[in-house]
Structures are given as structure tokens and as C-alpha cells.
Structure 1
């Protein structure tokens, strides 16, 4: 326990615990304000080509899908915050660190802070390796309770920003959506049927479903209406989708990034319609300009 206590102290040492939301918001919620349950939920699904490219990259570079998805999120947040390289979010952890816990039914999930300090000059591949190493080090100390981590740092849980930005990742392992225990029957409820309830200010959930013929990889973005207008939520999910396309699409007009050499500061989140809009403003011919010139 002493080793884990020291690990988590170093993990959060000198981190700005009062930093605001990692995404641009329409308004800020004061720490003493209660969160309403109202939220906007958007879902983006990737085609088989991008899904397979993602899985191939993970296999070739010996990282788990969780680690690669987390890397994508940090690269996205780095660009969304205009170069903020000291980033911390919370991740849901299975918390089954003992062999005897693996097959026991019950809720063991815990929340842990994942702090990443990125170098803007790193390539995407270097960021992947860094995130992998951090995840492995956190895994060794994942049994240490969050309340102990915060108490040891004399932190009040009610005003910690990274606890309001949450990442989760899940894989569908069974084709059946029903589970029977004795005489009770449980049925899985799809995300489309779920209520739009905000447990956090911002939550990103990646889902991998190998059973599907298409759209095997998808993500759900849940944003609290306390911070985000409904019309605003479509922007981060489109940018995150574009982020994936830049790294994993075979379309060379989209995927121009060399993951081994191009620094993470070089890729962008400007969408094609925004690029067109900027070009129209800069280069569009104005109605008051006449076709006149001077002959020399």
C-alpha cells in the first residue's frame, strides 16, 4: 500500500487540479452547483476499413485496443485545447486485480485518474508507446481506492475537474443479449434505448462489437447540458471522427499522416466544411469588384 500511495502522489504531483473542462464549453458549472441529469448523446460508427486498420495497428504495435483508444482521446484533447499537454481524465477500471475476482459476478468497477504529459514533438507512434507504458504502470496500482488517492493529497472530491471527464471502453463478447440466472432472465438494453442521463460533464465510451458485419467500432459521446448546448455536441464528435480518419483511413486525401514521423501538433481538427468556409471568406470574389485593369 505504501508503494501505491507514493505512486499516486507522484502521478498527480503539480497537476493543476482546478483546471477547467478539457473541451470548449458554452458555460461553466460552478463547483457548488448541482448537475442536472439532462444530457446530449451522440454516436459515431466507423466502417470496416477503419475498424480493421485500427485493430491492425494495435496488433502490430503490441498495444491493447483500450490503450490505442485512450491515445486517440489524448491526441484529440491535445488539439481541442490548443496544445495543452498536461492532461488528466478519469478512466473506469474493471478492478479485478486478483485471479479469484475474475469470474465472480458483481460490481468491482473503480475510477482512476490517468494523467498524461505529452511532448508536442512526439509522433503519434511515440504517444502510443508513452500511453501504453503509463497504462501498464497504473495497472500495477489500480487496486488503490480513489478516495485514498484524494485523501492522501488533501483533495476535496467535489471540485476536481478530471473526475468530470470520463473515458470508458467495452467489447461485446457474446452474440446473445440474454442472461439467465435460476428463474430470473436479464436482457441487454441497447444504447439507443437508454436514457440520456449525465453522470459526468463529459463521457466518452468506445464500443467494439466483432459480431457486427459493419460498424464494429463506434463511440458514444455524452455531454451534460449544464456545460454544453445540444447544438454544440455535434462538433466534438465530428472532430473525433475526423481524427480517427486521419490516422486509420486508406483514403490518402484524408490520411496524410505518417504515424512514425509526423508530430501530433501537425494534424488538425478542422472539418472539410469549415475549410471550405474559410476559403470562401478569403478567396471568394466579391460582388463589388469589377473586371478592370491597366494596360502597360
Structure 2
């Protein structure tokens, strides 16, 4: 392979990639992204159960794909969902970099990193995504001898090299590196016995496959400068859920990638509870004015509204609402089902007007004081309202022939509006 050809390939592959932004992981300490780090790392892992391992292995065999390709595809889908449907993704992967047979038995670190960029189509299925990733890897591996340092230095200026280091997909040595027979690498703890780990990247996903024991272990190595352990534990749980979703339910692999879910069981339950909006109308229900009056009886001295330096208790608010409702019913003959508009600034009077209109059985329609008078006139004509509640600052927006009433909240009275037969099926 000619190095000039490889350089051109990587420049074309990474052209237009926005590497200036960090991948939106759920960082606990995002302020440290641009500051020097200690390099301290830690790992959270989980092991797949035997049945799930068998399902993934069988799928890889049937798809004529390696486990490396299957898990890399899964990781792309995971990042897509984790980043809330970010479709332009780039993951670093490690290759053995021993293309010649003579290099297979050579002792030394010859590995190279390649950036696997994927522009994911949210509408594609997992099976289709796997084929895309396979083709991506074939092209990348052909040019994998080109040093990663030179890839970074020759990339277009719009690509940020630091982002490419933030995510790395690393698999077991059995799939990437050939070791000399009878030579075994043994892990050595640090001199002080603390077994301290180093975080080279923000996050490294390692999938360890043991064919003899038919086991697969997934490890999340993370930077302690950026993440807390509980956050990474949650991320591993989401990845585990995605694996189960894809391989325990065959139909999910045929669905669009965007339909996959990373929700935990407690989050699914919460979503179900929030969406359970069914209301049994066969039981006795009250209208808003009745519920408000009942609430005032329980705690009349409690503060109901606070606006800047002003505050109003529930008792004071009810008095003002009663006063307004009484005037609407007696002076302006507002009846059940009538439409009354209100055009006021954000204020305590706005709340008084809303409740006062509803208390006399009318329908409340809000008008924005920011709209031009011509638009307000059209809205009044469309609603058929014959009365507009206003403030001194909004009165000039309406023609003199339109009946208006200044709404206030500082009048104290015990007068109650005449009873009206407001029901739940009324507009009010």
C-alpha cells in the first residue's frame, strides 16, 4: 500500500467531521474537559450471561461477521442513542498492524489506531448498520498501516484531533494481536500496591471474549477527572440493556435504529406513570372555581402569588376574584358560556381576571398585549367577545366602541357572585 494513497483516504474519510466539539457523554465534571488532568482512571465491568453470549455468537455466525464487528456496530448504536440521535460518529479502534507473516512472531508493540467514522442513518436497521460497519472496517483496515499520528496531523483543519481520542473500541488480543507461543504477559501492580489505573481517553470500551469458557466481559475504563463511578455504572447498565434488546428480541434488529431504547427499568416505569393520564369521569369531580374556594378555606393566610415585591394570600385573592365575578355578572350581564377576553401584562391582575371569568361561568380567552391592535381586533371578532378585561397600560389597544373593564386585586369585599350551574362539560 502506498502511503500517499493512505493519506488521501484518511483525509477524505475525515473531511467535514466536526472534531471541535466533545462527544456529549454525561460528564459529571465537564469543566475539566479543557483543563489538565491527573490521568487517574478506573473500570466498571459486567459479564454477559451464557444465554446472551450464545445468542450474540450465533448471530455473528449467521451474519458472517466477527464479534469485533458486531460489538463495534452495537457501540455505534449505543453512542447514537446516548448522544440523543447524533448521527456523525467517530470511534478509535486498535489494529494489530502486522500485515506481513514475518511480523506475526515479532515481539514488540506494533499496534496502530484507526478512526472509524460513521455517518449513521437513523432509519436503517441494526442488520443494515452491521453491513455498513463491515464495509467501513474493510476500507479502514486496508489503509491501517498509515500511522495515526500522521492521520491527525494531515486532517482538515475543521477536524479536532482531541475528539477522536475520546472514544475507543478495544477488543481482546485474540482478535487483534498475535503473541509468540509460550510468551505470556502478566499484569504487574504499581510499586505501592495500589493497582492504580491510567485513563488515556475519556472512555474506553473493552470487550473480552473467552471462547474456551464461552464468556464475554464488557469493561468501561473511564477518566476519574470527568466521571463519577455511579455515572459509569449507569452507562454500563444502558449498554447491557441495549445488548439484551438487540439479541434477545430478534424483531428489534429489524426496527430503525432510532427506535431503540436505553431506558432503565425504573425509567420505563416512570415514563409509564407520567403517560398514565386516564381520568375516571364517572366519579365526582369539581370545577376549578370550586376547588380554588375549597383550597382557600383550608389555608386562607398562605401566600398564593408572589410577583417582584408584591404578594397576595389565598384569602385576599379570593376576595378580589369574588368582587370581579360579581361585577361581571351584575353590571355586564356575563352569563354561563359567554366568552370574555383579557389583555393584561404579566401581573397579579392577570390571575384575578382568569379566576373571576371562570367563577361566573364564562370562558376565558387570553390576548397578548404585544400583538398589534389590528390583530387583537380580529381575535375579538372571531371570539365574539363583548367585553375585554384590561389594565390602564393596555386599554389604548382597543377601539372606544369596545367595552372594557379594568381588573384590580386590591378591593376587599365579602360579596359573592350569584351561583351558576358550571359543569365539567362547559367550556369554562
Fold similarity call, TM over 0.5: yes
Higher RCO (C-alpha 8 Å, min separation 6): 1
Does structure 1 residue 270 correspond to structure 2 residue 263? yes
Structure with larger Rg:
2
What does 1:128-207 align with in structure 2 at a 5 Å threshold? 128-153=130-155, 160-170=162-172, 187=186, 195-207=196-208
- The 3-state SS of whatever aligns with 1:257 is helix
Q: Deviations over 1:92-133 (max 9, x none)?
A: 111112221112121111111110111011010000000000
The question of 1:248 aligning with 2:242 is answered no
**Deviation at residue 257 of structure 1 after TM alignment:** 3.3
Deviation at 1:59, TM superposition (A): 1.0
Other-structure match for 1:220 = 219
Instruction: Pick the aligned partner of 1:257 from 248, 251, 256.
Output: 251
CA distance in 2 between partners of 1:87 and 1:210 (Å): 30
Contact 2:18 2:158 in 1 (8 A): no
Distance in 2 of aligned mates of 1:208 and 1:221: 15
Cα distance in 2, alignment partners of residues 118 and 53 from structure 1: 25
Tell me if structure 1 keeps the 8 A contact 2:93–2:170. Answer: yes
**Structure 2 residue matching 1:91: 3-state secondary structure:** strand
Residues 37 and 158 from structure 1, CA distance in 2 versus in 1: closer, same or farther, beyond 3 angstroms?
Answer: farther
Tell me the equivalent position of 1:239. 238
- The Cα of 1:283 is off from its aligned counterpart by 4.1
Partner of 1:204: helix, strand, or coil? strand
Q: Deviations over 1:200-228 (max 9, x none)?
A: 11110000012226xx0111001112221
Deviation of 1:281 (Å): 4.7
Q: Does residue 1:94 correspond to 2:89, yes or no?
A: no
Give the aligned length.
274
Find the aligned partners of 2:277 and 2:234 in 1 and give their Cα distance: 25
Taking the aligned partners of 2:100 and 2:42, their CA distance within structure 1 comes to 37
Structure 2 residue runs without a partner (length 5+): 176-180, 286-428
Mind listing any 5+ residue stretches in structure 1 that lack a counterpart? Answer: 174-178, 250-254
Inter-CA distance 189–172: structure 2 relative to 1 (3 Å threshold) = farther
Instruction: Return the alpha-carbon distance in structure 2 between the equivalents of residues 201 and 124 of structure 1.
Output: 26
Secondary structure at the aligned position of 1:265 is classed as helix
Give the conservation status (yes or no) of the 8 Å contact 2:17–2:158: no
State the Cα deviation string for residues 205-256 of structure 1 (Å, max 9, x = none).
000012226xx0111001112221222111110000000000112xxxxx26
Tell me whether 1:210 sits opposite 2:204 in the alignment: no
Measure the CA separation in 2 of the matches of 1:73 and 1:246: 13
**Equivalent position of 1:106 in the other structure:** 108
Separation of aligned partners in 2, 1:32 and 1:158: 13
C-alpha RMSD of matched pairs (Å)? 3.0
Normalized against structure 1, the TM-score is what? 0.83
**Kept after mapping to 2: 8 A contact 1:166/1:204:** yes
Question: 1:252 is matched with which residue?
Answer: none
Superposed displacement of residue 136, structure 1 = 0.6
> In 2 relative to 1, CA 283–158 (structure 1 residues): closer, same or farther, beyond 3 Å?
closer
**Residues of 2 paired with 1:22 and 1:99: CA distance?**
41
Alignment CA distance shift 1:186-1:165 (3 Å)? closer
The whole-number CA distance in structure 2 between the counterparts of 1:5 and 1:222 is 31
* Rounded Cα–Cα distance in structure 2 between residues aligned with 1:218 and 1:54: 13
Give the match for residue 176 of structure 1.
Answer: none
Q: Deviations over 1:159-202 (max 9, x none)?
A: 521112111000569xxxxx866xxx864579xx9533212111
Contact 1:246 1:257 in 2 (8 A): no
Query: Structure 2 CA distance, aligned partners of 1:64 and 1:199?
Result: 26
In the superposition, the TM-score normalised over structure 2's length comes to 0.59
Residues 32 and 225 of structure 2 are in contact (CA less than 8 Å); yes or no, is this contact kept in structure 1? no
Q: CA separation of 1:151/1:172 partners in 2, compared to 1, >3 Å: closer, same or farther?
A: closer
